[in-house]
Amino acid sequence: MTSALRRRTAALGRRAGALCARAGGLSRGLSLRVKIAVLLAAGCALVAVAIGLLIHQSRAAQIASNARESATSQLIRVRQLYELTGQVDHDGTEAALDHPALPEPLRKSAKDGRRSTYLDLSGPDPAVWAARPVGDRVLSVRRPLNTAVDQLHELDGHLVAWGAVVVGLAALGGAGIASRLSRQLRTAAATARRISLGDLDARIGRTPAGRQDEVAELACAVDTMAASLQSRLEAEQRFTADVAHELRTPLTGLHTAAELLPPSRPTELVRDRVAALRTLTEDLLEVARLDANAEEPHLEVLPLDRTVEKILQRCGLAVELGRSEASRGPDPDGTSGTDRADGTAGTDRANGTRTNGTGRTGRTNGNDGSDETYGTEALVRTDARRLERIVANLIANARRHGAEPVEVTVDGTSVRVRDHGPGFPERLLQDGPRRFVTGAKERGQGTGLGLTIALGQAQVVGARVTLSNAEGGGALAVVSLPGA
């Protein structure tokens, strides 16, 4: 019996090991909630199996002990009657002399002059034997144990059923606890993502009073980090705004004094540096307003094609303006804005912007006073002044750090600005523009505020600026505006 129990235990251990190996491979793709529930259920299952084995072993040992004692008592009674009468009592027993089915180990023990018992619970007909020598013969009794074995199997069935119930309840309880833990961790992760996107007011919130577990410590640490980060950034923003405001007044006086200097080369240098310093100060003030979310856009519906053309005219930027087919509709006479019916290039605007038949335009000195418009133009909802600031900054950045020609293309509700220089540095494409960081040395000089302001103003008007490097070389900035 003991060897059979050991074999069962060993087989159960091998199966448990195989299941653990499979669970280890599957756990990599499971959520924390499922992992905790499975782990808790597996722990309860192991405890239930261990308790079940102990109960089974204890009950089996009790059955064996009672059966051996009962068989020995019956053998003593049968021997006494045999010595008195010379006959074996078969009343209610399977007593016999030299029983043919007597197990060989028991027969050998009796031949050696010992009284012994033999228990067989694994066979199809479980029974207990007791035997002793009588002269040169062997007296034995046999008691069947079918009822006791059936009771043991019934006990095993109850243990399995209740063990399954306990494991199921443990899995449900683990899932509930893990769901709460997972929800709190997801809240912390979502708050951290909001902070990384610029929402410095995001907080996880207070935990229940008296709670001091690891999740509460994590929530407290994240909220403390966010508060510290917010205070530092606000202090930096206030410092930037204060410096810009304090420099504004003396710079105004310096600019006035520079204008009073007599014309000369040194005067031109002084005026140029004063103008650069005033531009930097205005940029710092603008960045401070963007950081403080103090900008209020004046949104209106505008034709993007003509708006960009007017921006280029006001800024006096000698760049090439291109229009895609999506942004250029037919002229009132039924021909496209690129080619007339006679195959010649058509005049797009009265300001001298002339298409060359390829969608690219050049600037001429024509000025006939007409106001020709396109039959269909993409309409966008934006702030014209802020859009001008965005486009002008992107063009200035392309001319300063890139190489000619600089191309501006209107494509539907998007404006594309491309140069033919070395392109954006990889760090800028990965981390975005940073203040006072201009990228690689070969991209020239600058304050590093142009792209920062462009992206900030785009956020104010609900647009999106995408920075990348063009396939043919050069930096490419795409301003995507919301349609009307």
At 355, the pLDDT band (50, 70, 90 cuts) reads: very low
pLDDT at 478: 93
Distance (Å, whole) CA 133 – CA 114: 7
Q: What tokens does 173 get?
A: 């309880």
pLDDT tier for residue 44 given thresholds of 50, 70 and 90:
confident
Section 234-257 average pLDDT: 79
**The pairing of beta strand 414-418 with beta strand 475-480:** antiparallel
Q: Mean pLDDT across the chain, nearest whole number?
A: 76
pLDDT > 50? residue 333: no
Q: Does the pLDDT value for residue 316 go beyond 50?
A: yes
Decide if pLDDT at 244 tops 80: no
Q: What percent of the chain has pLDDT over 90?
A: 8
Cβ-based neighbours of 102, under 8 Å, separated by 6 or more: 129, 131, 138, 140
Confidence of residue 202 (pLDDT cuts 50, 70, 90): confident
pLDDT for res 477 = 92
The DSSP code for 110 is H
In angstroms, rounded to a whole number, what is the distance separating the alpha carbons of residues 115 and 283?
Answer: 109
Confidence (pLDDT) at 24? 53
Q: What is the pLDDT of residues 406-451, one digit of tens each?
A: 889 898 899 999 998 888 888 888 877 777 666 545 444 555 688 8
With residue 128 as reference, give the H or E element that holds it.
strand 127-134
Q: Cα–Cα distance between 231 and 246 in angstroms, integer?
A: 22
| Polymer length in residues for the chain | 484
Cα angle 311, 407, 413 (rounded to 5 degrees) comes to 60
Is residue 143 within 8 Å of residue 77, measured between CB atoms? no
The pLDDT tens digits of the residues spanning 74-126 come to 888 888 888 888 777 776 678 888 888 888 888 888 888 888 998 887 778 88
How many other CB atoms are found less than 10 A from the CB of residue 369?
5
- Parallel/antiparallel/unpaired status of strands 116-120 and 300-303: unpaired
Lowest mean pLDDT among 52-56, 218-222, 376-380, 444-448: 444-448
Q: Three-state DSSP class for 151?
A: helix
Least-confidence region, from 214-228, 299-313, 395-409: 214-228
Query: What is the residue-wise DSSP string for 266-309?
Result: HHHHHHHHHHHHHHHHHHHHHHHHHHTT------EEEEHHHHHH
Q: What is the pLDDT of residue 58?
A: 92
Which comes out higher in pLDDT, residue 170 or 4? 170
Q: How far apart are CA 466 and CA 304, in angstroms?
A: 18
Report yes or no: 467 and 427 within 8 Å, Cβ to Cβ: no
Tokens 């410095």 sit on residue? 200
Predicted pLDDT at 271: 85
Contacts of 215 by beta carbon, 8 Å cutoff, 6+ apart: 181, 184, 185, 188, 207
As a whole number of angstroms, the distance between CA 114 and CA 129 comes to 14
Rg over alpha carbons for the chain, rounded to the nearest Å, is 47
Q: Which residues contact 248 (CB under 8 A, 6 or more apart)?
A: 281, 285
CA distance between the termini of the chain: 86
Q: Give me the percent of the chain exceeding a pLDDT of 70.
A: 77
pTM of the model: 0.51
Q: pLDDT (tens digit, 9 = 90+) per residue, 394-406?
A: 998 888 888 888 8
Long-range contacts from 434-438, C-beta under 8 angstroms, 24+ separation: 435/287, 438/401
Name the band, by pLDDT with cuts 50, 70 and 90, for residue 387: very high
pLDDT value at residue 33: 74
Element (H, E) at 249: helix 214-259
Q: Regarding predicted confidence, which is higher, 363 or 175? A: 175
Using H for helix, E for strand and C for coil, what is the string for 317-333? CCCEEEECCCCCCECCC
Among the residue ranges 105-109, 206-210, 432-436, 465-469, the one predicted with the least confidence is 206-210
11 vs 337: which has the higher pLDDT: 11
Instruction: Quote the DSSP letter at residue 96.
Output: E
Q: Is 255 exposed, middle or buried (0-12, 13-18, 19+ CB in 10 A)?
A: middle
Tracing tokens 């014209």 back to the chain, one arrives at: 384
| pLDDT (average), residues 197-223 | 74
For the beta carbon of residue 241, count every other beta carbon within 10 angstroms: 18
For 46-70, how does the pLDDT look when each residue is reduced to its tens digit (9 = 90+)? Answer: 888 999 999 989 988 998 899 899 8
- Provide the pLDDT for residue 365: 36
Which tokens belong to 179?
A: 């769901």
Tell me the average pLDDT across 149-176.
88
φ, ψ for residue 14, nearest 5 deg: -65, -40
- What pairing do the DSSP bridges indicate for beta strands 320-323 and 407-411? parallel
Query: Rounded CA gap, 461 and 483, in Å?
Result: 12
Give the dihedral sign, CA 219/224/225/229. positive
pLDDT higher than threshold 90 for residue 376: no
pLDDT at residue 342 is higher than 70: no
Q: Which residue has 């919301």 as its token pair?
A: 482
Contact 318, 363 (CB under 8 A): yes
